[in-house]
Amino acid sequence: MISKEMLISYIQKAMPDAVVTVADRTGTMDHYRLQIVSEAFRGKNLLDRQRFVYQALNEPMKDGRIHALEIKSYTPEEAATQAPSGH
């Protein structure tokens, strides 16, 4: 299990400008939906963005605190064009 605050902390260590929205998908604090908005994604394709996020979360992924992630990653400009997800 990992708290939302700790999850955000790991991401912001790798991407200090990141605006992170976290949703606990199951209530068990190990299955999360993340929306991350950061300049760090500029010029990166979807796979590279996913790798970057997984690298930032390597420690809690390896030790089992995170079991599953759903990741939405955007640059600030991309995020501005996204309709609210309602989730």
Q: Is residue 16 part of a domain?
A: yes
Q: Is residue 43 part of a domain?
A: yes
Q: Is residue 75 part of a domain?
A: no
- pTM for this prediction: 0.88
Q: Is residue 83 part of a domain?
A: no
Q: Is residue 76 part of a domain?
A: no
Q: Is residue 13 part of a domain?
A: yes
Closest CA to 74 of 48, 46, 36: 36
| Four-point Cα dihedral 70, 39, 81, 26, nearest 10 | 20
CATH code where residue 18 lies: 3.30.300.90
H/E stretch holding 51: helix 46-56
Q: Is residue 20 part of a domain?
A: yes
Q: Is residue 77 part of a domain?
A: no
Report the Cα 58 to chain-centroid distance in Å.
Answer: 12
Count of structural domains, the chain: 1
Q: Name the residue range of residue 29's domain.
A: 4-65
pLDDT by residue, tens only, the chain of 87 residues: 999 999 999 999 999 999 999 999 999 999 999 999 999 999 999 999 999 999 999 999 999 999 999 999 999 999 999 866 544
* Strand ordering across the sheet containing 68-74: 19-24, 31-37, 68-74
- Please report the beta strands in the chain, taking only residues with DSSP state E, as ranges in sequence order: 19-24, 31-37, 68-74
